[in-house]
Amino acid sequence: MPNQRHYTPADKLLMQVNSALRTLLPFSGSPYRASPAKTYFEGEMSEQEERHVAGLMRINHTGEVCAQALYQGQALTAKLPEVRDAMEKAAQEEIDHLAWCEERVRELGQRPSVLNPLFYGLSFGMGAVAGLISDRLSLGFVAAVEDQVCKHLDEHLKQLPIADEKSRVILEQMRIDEEKHSTTATSAGGLKFPKPIKVGMTLLSKVMTKTTYHI
């Protein structure tokens, strides 16, 4: 296309830095959709329940940080324009989840994990490497990661106090979106990972959840 803009390596680097800052700095990511919890009132919970929910939502916020980094890394190295566009669109949708989770964590009197920059860097690197190897691997990685996220969301939904409708509606909408991302990546030709790789990914995700629940 004659009017299509071509970015220099310096342009791309600055764009990635901007994306990283929008992901990691407090309240810097503006959601495209309002939080589903906006129309719900805060339910009565004990102090212990509030701390537990805040820990769960901190885990989910870090998960969205990882998702942003993964998609941004893949978009940087994807070979096919349609795959790159799909990664960028998915990253935009994940910004909603990122903002919703951060808002909920702070409503509960807590803050996001201090380990987010570390997990961002690791996820960005994995996404970039997957994109360099092949677009099919990159898409397969997306599907596998989103499947892991859906499992975490299912577990967290079971643990929420009955009174906490605000967190529940957020996680339910996230669950719908993440499943859609997984299905889209598979339909686009993503590789299906063998069970040993999925087991390894599960173990890595447990490390993330155990640490970010507390810090």
Cα 114 to Cα 26, 58, 91: the distances in Å are 11, 10, 22
Show Cβ contacts of residue 177 under 8 Å, excluding neighbours closer than 6 positions: 93, 96, 97
Question: Is position 181 annotated in a ligand binding site?
Answer: yes
Question: Is position 94 annotated in a ligand binding site?
Answer: yes
What is residue 208's three-state secondary structure? Answer: helix
Question: Is position 172 annotated in a ligand binding site?
Answer: no
Is the Cβ–Cβ distance between 79 and 133 less than 8 Å?
no
From 141, 154, 25, 27, select the one nearest 90 (Cα to Cα).
Answer: 141
d(CA 153, CA 97): 12
Show Cβ contacts of residue 125 under 8 Å, excluding neighbours closer than 6 positions: 73
Question: Is position 97 annotated in a ligand binding site?
Answer: yes
Question: Is position 44 annotated in a ligand binding site?
Answer: no
From 122, 121, 174, select the one nearest 152 (Cα to Cα).
Answer: 174
Question: Is position 178 annotated in a ligand binding site?
Answer: yes
For residues 83-113, one letter each, b for 16 or more C-beta atoms within 10 angstroms of the residue's C-beta and e for the rest, the string is: bbebbeebbebbbbbbbbbbbbbbbbebebb
Binding residues for Fe cation: 64, 94, 97, 146, 178, 181
Binding residues: 64, 94, 97, 146, 178, 181
